[in-house]
Structure 1
Amino acid sequence: MPRLIAAVLAALLATASHAQSIAPREGWVVIATEKTHADLLGDLKKAIKAHKMGVVTQAGPTGAARNRGITIPENRVVGVFNNDFAVKVLATSTAAMIEAPIRFYVTEETDGTATLSYKTPGYVFAPYYGEGGETLETLAGQLDERFSAIATAATE
């Protein structure tokens, strides 16, 4: 029994030690803020609407974990796109649409602040440029600008 308890505790500590801030990485934008998770998430949704995009999906394990008696930092993945871009992307590459919606990620830090992260649309769609050509690259560039504007508005 002591070995089982030790193993469970080791597993829990290993899991907890993996929780960390989002580090900058290729193709990502990572913006630390002084906002709470709830405030940043609310401001993100307002910015998405203001920039004529839509929230297509939302997901996060925090609520379900809480219902199971597990406490983890708040986090939410918000999928964003609009039909105008969807139709235009489809005209260039059917396969590229697997990447839509493109996601923002709002994560809570240990100090109670929140971080906004996302993969740039240009990075997400780059594997399809050979198929979608210059038109897809142009669309991805337009989406890069739109996502940047949304992120700036949400994090100000």
Structure 2
Amino acid sequence: MRYLSLLFLILSTGFATAQSVDPRDGWVVMETDKPFETLLEDLSSAVSDEGFAVVTQAGPTGAARSRGIEIPENRVVGVFNNIYAVRILGLSTAAMIEAPVRFYLTEDEDGTATLSYKTPGFVFAPYMEEGGPDLAAAAAELDTSFLAIANAAVR
């Protein structure tokens, strides 16, 4: 039995299967029929078209591959706009820890990709008492922009 457990452990470290992102409070989850790389390119275009910028990108897939571990493609893409950064900073210094707001791209088992994100209204909710109605207004505007970006990316 011990050898069987050891064999399972060895085999399981060399690959991983795709897991979909389940809908949850404060998240938008959009399944697509696009391959991962296409969705990533389309997201980048949509971000720019909406007047925002890709500020950060991170994902474990390449580093895992270099270690001999195959995992599905996934990438966290931080998106923001300096106008909102300055505006929110003036309302709540603490809230800026949440910027940039992130999109999450995941490759699904069938080769398609899913786009997910926490809505800016959800992300900035813990700071509403400090930032007041002006922060609520900024978050609502960002909700609209992020939905437009997501819709354009998955279209």
Output the TM-score relative to the length of structure 1.
Answer: 0.92
Structure-2 residue corresponding to 1:81: 80
Give runs of aligned pairs for residues 1-156 of structure 1, distance below 5 A. 3=2, 6-7=5-6, 9-10=8-9, 13=12, 16=16, 19-156=18-155
The CA distance in 1 between the partners of 2:97 and 2:7, in whole Å, is 39
SS in 2 for 1:127: helix
Distance 1:66 1:95, change over 3 A: same
CA offsets per residue over residues 35-61 of structure 1, 9 Å max, x none?
Answer: 000000000000000000011100000
SS in 1 for 2:143: helix
Structure 2: stretches of 5+ with no match in the other structure: none
The CA distance in 1 between the partners of 2:10 and 2:19, in whole Å, is 17
Output the TM-score relative to the length of structure 2.
Answer: 0.93
Identity %, equivalent residues: 60
Structure 1: stretches of 5+ with no match in the other structure: none
CA offsets per residue over residues 46-92 of structure 1, 9 Å max, x none?
Answer: 00000000111000000111111110000000000011000000010
Kindly provide the amino acid, as one letter, of the partner of residue 24 in structure 1: P
Structure 1 position 3, deviation (Å) = 2.4
SS in 2 for 1:107: strand
CA offsets per residue over residues 70-129 of structure 1, 9 Å max, x none?
Answer: 100000000000110000000100000000000000100000000000000000000000
Which has a greater percent of helix? 1
SS in 1 for 2:20: coil
SS in 2 for 1:35: strand
Q: How many residues align?
A: 154
SS in 2 for 1:76: strand
Which runs of 4 or more aligned residues in structure 1 lie more than 4 Å from their structure 2 counterparts after TM superposition? 10-17
